[in-house]
Every structure is written in structure tokens, then in C-alpha cells.
Amino acid sequence: MIFRHLALRSGQNRVVEHSGLKNNAYLCVMNFTSQTRYNPETGEYEKYYRLKESYRNASGRACTRILLNVGFIHGLKPEEIRDISCGLTYKYEHQGEHELWEDQMAVYSDIVRQKIDEYWQRLVEEKKLDIIHQAFEASKAKAERRIDVDTLKHTDARDIGAEWLCLQAIRQIGFDRFLRSLGWSEEQVKLAIGHLIVRTIYTPSELKSMRIMRDNSGVCELIDLAIEAVTQRKVYSVADWFLKEKAKIEEYLCRTTDDLFKPTNRIMLFDLTNFYFEGRKDGSGKAKFGRSKEKRSDCKLLVLALCINTDGFIRYSSILEGNTADPKSLPDMVDKLIATNPTGTGDDQKVLVVIDAGIASQDNLDLIKAKGYNYLCVSRKVLTDYTVDADARTVIVHDNKQQPIKLQEVHTEGEDYYLKIDSPAKALKEESMNRSFRKRFEEGLDAIAASLAKKNGTKKYEAVLRRIGKLEGHFPSIARYYNIDIEKDKNDTVTSVTWTLEVPEKQVHGTYFLRTNVKTLDEKTTWDYYNLIREIECSNRQLKTDLSLRPIYHQKDDRSDAHLFLGLLSYWIVNVIRHQMKKENERRKKADPNPKAEYPTPYWTEIVRIMSTQKAVTSEAVNAMGEKVEMRICSTPTEQAADIYSMLNYKKMPFRKIKVCRTQSP
């Protein structure tokens, strides 16, 4: 810019033109201002002078600043005072150019040159010469921050809260470092971690996972992974990379979580669950038809055997054929469990394996005992010939609905300890179910009998038997109490179907028995230990519902195994987070003076919902200097999200503000 100021000397106008600013940045013009004040030395009101500077800041606005309080000046004419300001301005603009100073100063009178030197020396001593430069730089910084709101826009908004939470959990257990120790390249590690985080949060297919990483999630930004590296082929390969290192990964995760969280690992929970396939699954060696726990026996299945400790961390996992019966799955688990969890010799040092009735066959119980483990399960048969000591006590506990449950020790043949459980609420439920089953079973029998009188009804003996057999298969618990009589003629045509109900004299509802080979446990402890089986039920629910491992769409066995193992790794991340939240909630509850206060730990889907409120967004605008400024900003977490970070002792924000680009606007 070109700035002009007027220098007056002896009544003659002299225009001094300056092109550019100091250091091509700014220009200073010094001048005097005066104010009438009382002078105590003379007792008169006189002009009090200040030396001020005028300059334009980075935004082009004219600004002034006081440099010196000169005071009362005597014996100088107004023209001479103006010459002093012009001389100071000239000296400031030509610092170091002493020859030019001498030439310019020669046009001034002696008193003017004397005052110029005096005031210049004061400016130097009081370090006021660079004050304009400092003010300009300060105004420049403000101008850069001051933006035109009409030009403001936001782009590239991505979810980052849940991703940042998962990434910190992965780094907490050192999983990224472990993958590097396996010899994986840096791109492999970043791609695997990114895909695992997306799989944990969004539970997508591989194809959808690639699209989420490219378009929706900020995970690539967090792990410094180029978007161009996220290809369909590489994303599909991640699960296969993990499956090849399954044994090493599980061993590392077990060891690391033991070091971090110090679980006792003295109680193991074992159970099976199955996953159904969509599609024909032709040519598969593992996919088989079996009994689906999700009522999808029309589909081929895969069975997942899990053994976890009481903190929910996996100690053993195996993917089995879909028709694997529950009792057949235990021997392999016990052998592999011993390798990672050696048992002690005393009863208080042995691992207690908690299983449900479906696995608790006598052969499996004998196997567990032979391997040096203890067991706790529901007895597969309802005891009838048992005795109760005269002094046996009855312990009352309550379920989560505060309904009473009676516990009582009983004795029977054998060495095991049995605990009788009487639950009135369970009895009501079973009675209601039996009434419903009985009604529906008899309606089925009525339909079969009514069909005999219809024109095109089922009348052939074999066909009637098949219908009755199918009906009994649907209601096995009630069908055993019915005696069904079928009459037919010589042509094998059924003429009548009749039935009678034989209810046992003492049909017990709401009663079952817990069985264990540990006789040192009391009633309450035995009950509490068995109810830990709900932890593995919670794990299965998270795998199937929160992490969407069902149904399976892959058609090859290795792809199905890789899909399930990737889901198990996601479960590890979820459990690392939820375990620490549960421990913190327990601490808060103990510290709360209100004994009825509840601190529930939310399920994973709710945690994801809360954390997804935190976003990363790019903001673009033009500042007061006419420059285009782009900034990458991470939003502040909500109160709920901040509380989750606090519970885990994690950082709340991966970054606050990153200036991505700063270019001259067109």
C-alpha cells in the first residue's frame, strides 16, 4: 500500500511519500498531541505534549499509540514541534542509515535537531522503537482469528468419539505393539486396527466396513492411515490375518489382561452357543443342522464354545460343527484350559468350572474331576430320594426382582454336595407354561381327531402316527404325561383317536438342585457362584446382538471362522471397556451414602450411542486479512461421554484444533 503524510517546515508544504511498510509490513508516523494542563512550576495552564505514533494494523485500520509523555515544552514554535515529529519519523524509517540522517537533519534548526536527538535517545532507552512492530504482529494474529461469518462453512464431518474410545482401549492392552512384534508391516497394523475398531462400533460386513472407513468414520485420521490404502481386497484380508495368529493372539490377550486387571481365574464359566447361516452353505464341512438356541433349526449352524472368567475375559474359544452336542464339547476345552491355567493341589487352589445342565453329563463331571478341577452345575435329574438333616438351615436369598428363593442343603447317595433350590416365582412360571403347553397339545390332538371325520382329512394310520409324533416333538415336556389310543380298521384307516392324562401325584414346580464336588462351600456362596453363569450369557448376548455375529453369510468354512474370530476380538475390546466401567461403578456405589443408589453399566450399543455424539469437522472461512483458513476441530464431548472417559481414565479429545491449510483466497 502507499501511505502519505505531510511534513511542514517554515510554512512550506513538503509531501513525503512512502511506498510499502516497514519490512513490507507496516508504516509508522509520529506526531505530537497536546492537552491543556496546570503547570505547577509556572502556575499557569500550558500545553502538555505527548509523542504518539499513527500506523495501520494488519486489517488496514488506522491506529495510534502513545510513545512518550514529553511534558511542557517552552521556547518552540508550533512549526518546530511539527518538524521534531517529522524528524523522528524519518529516523525511525531509516534506522542504520546515518548518512541519510545527516542530510535530512541539516534542514532543521539547531534546537529542533537537539530535541530530535533527545527524544530519540529516550525512545531507545525506554525500548519504544519496536513497540509498533509488536502491536502490528498482535493485530495480525487477531486479524487471522477474526473471520467473516458469511464465508463460514463446515465440511468432512466424521464420527470420532467411539473410535477414540476403542483406540485408547487397544493401546491400553498394547495390541498394536503386539501385532508389530508378529512382523506385520505398519500398513497392515494400521489397517487391522482400523477395521477392528469399525467392526466393534458399527458391526458391518467387510464391504460396508470399507465404505464406513472411507466416508463416515474418523478412524483413519486417528491412526494416520491414508484413505487410499483402504481397499476392498485389503479389508477382506484383515480377518484372515487375525485367524492365522489366533493361538498367539489369545495367549497374549489372556496374559495382558491378567497383568492389567489381576483377575483370580479361579472360577471358569463354560457354555456353548450357536450361529445360524443364511444360504444353502453347500460343501461346508462344519455347517450342520442341529438344535438352534435361536429357534432357527431350519438353517445350518456353527457352534461356538466359550470359557470365560468371572470378569468376562475369554480363556478359551473353539468353533465347532453345528451338530456338536453340548456334552461332547467339554473334553477339548478342559485340555486346552489346563495348558493356560494350571491348577493347584488344594481345594482352595483348584479352578471351579461352572457349567449348565446341558453339558453336565456324568462323563464330563468325571473328566473335570480327573483333570484336577472342581465343578458346579445344575443336576441333570430331579432328586427324589434325598434326606434333609434335622438341624439343616434354610437360607433365603432374593433375585433381581426381590422375589424370595429358598436354599437348603440335602443329602443323597454319592460324594457330591447338593443344594436344593425352591423358587416360588419359577414355580408360577412353570405352572403357567405347563397350562399353556397342555392347552396347545390338546388342541393339536383335537385337530387330529377332527380330521378323521373330514372328507380329505388325514385318516391313514401311518400318516396319523406322523402327525402325533410331530406334535409330541413340539411339546416334549407335557407329551410324556399323555396316553394316546388309536383305533383302526382292517384297511389301516384310523377310526378314532382318544387320550388320557396321567399327572404325577407329586409334580414339583420351581425346584431344582445344584451339584458340586466342593463340600466346603456354604449355601449362599454356592448360589452366588452358580449365578456367575449369567456373565457368559451376557457375553453371548453381546456377541450375537451388540456385535451382530448372526446370521453368517460367508459360504466357506475359513471365512466363517475368520468372521467369528474377528467378532471375538471385538468382544475383547468391549470387555476391556465395560470391565473398567463396572469396577468404577462398584467403587462409586460403595462411596455413595445412599445404599439404594444404582450404578448400572450400560450395554455396548448404548455406550456407542453416547460416544457417537463427538464429531470431527473441518471449518472453512475467510479472515479479516482476506485469507482462506481451514481448521480441523474436534467437538467437546457431552457430559455423558466425558463421564465415560473419566471412568476409564482416558483422554477426552484426540485433538482440539488443527490448522490444516492457510492460503490466500482468490
Q: Is the pLDDT of residue 506 over 60?
A: no
Confidence of residue 332 (pLDDT cuts 50, 70, 90): low
Q: Is residue 241, in this structure, part of any structural domain at all? A: no
* Residues 334, 351 share a domain: yes
Q: For 507-534, what is the mean pLDDT? A: 83
pLDDT tens figures, 576-609: 999 999 999 999 988 888 877 778 888 899 999 9
- Note whether 377 and 440 are same-domain residues: no
If asked whether residues 404 and 470 sit together in one domain, one would say no
DSSP per-residue codes, 341-382: S---SSTTTSPEEE--TTT--HHHHHHHHHTT-EEEEE-SS-
Mean pLDDT of 324-344: 62
Tell whether 50 and 184 lie within a shared domain: no
φ, ψ for residue 104 (rounded to 5)?
-75, -40
Domain count, the chain: 4
pLDDT value of residue 665: 44
- Same domain flag for 311 and 337: yes
For residue 530, the model assigns a pLDDT of: 84
What gap in Å lies between CA 199 and CA 406, rounded to an integer?
44
Does 141 fall in a domain?
Answer: yes
Quick check: 5 pLDDT over 70?
no
Residue 194 located in a structural domain: yes
3-class DSSP assignment, residue 569: helix
pLDDT digits (tens, 9 = 90+) for 26-58: 556 788 888 888 888 888 888 888 888 777 665
- Model pLDDT, residue 1: 29
Tell me: do 20 and 94 sit in the same domain: yes
Domain presence at residue 220: no
Which is more confidently placed, 97 or 462? 462
Mean pLDDT on 464-477: 87
Domain housing 192: 147-214+571-666
Global confidence as pTM: 0.70
Residues 364, 332 within the same domain: yes
Confidence of residue 356 (pLDDT cuts 50, 70, 90): confident
Which long-range CB contacts under 8 A does 37-43 form with residues at least 24 apart? Answer: 37/72, 39/72, 41/72
Residue 17's pLDDT band, with cuts at 50, 70 and 90, is very low
Mean per-residue pLDDT, 634-649: 94
C-alpha cell belonging to residue 324: 456338536
202 pLDDT more than 80? yes
> Are both 518 and 414 inside the same structural domain?
yes
**Banded pLDDT at 560 (limits 50, 70, 90):** confident
Q: Is residue 317 part of a domain?
A: yes
Query: What secondary structure does DSSP assign to 522-583, as a single string?
Result: -HHHHHHHHHTHHHHHHHHHIIIIIS---SB---SHHHHHHHHHHHHHHHHHHHHHHHHHHH
93 inside domain:
yes
pLDDT of residue 85: 82
Least confident window among 174-178, 542-546, 622-626: 622-626
Q: Find the length of the chain.
A: 666
Final residue of a structural domain among 458, 483, 501? 501
Specify whether 453 is located in the same domain as 536. no
**Residues 161 and 122 grouped into a single domain:** no
The reply to whether 189 and 305 lie within a common domain is no
* Residue 610, in any domain of the structure: yes
- Do both 542 and 606 map to the same domain? no
Q: Is residue 615 part of a domain?
A: yes
Band the pLDDT of 328: cuts 50, 70, 90. Answer: low
CATH code where residue 550 lies: 3.90.350.10
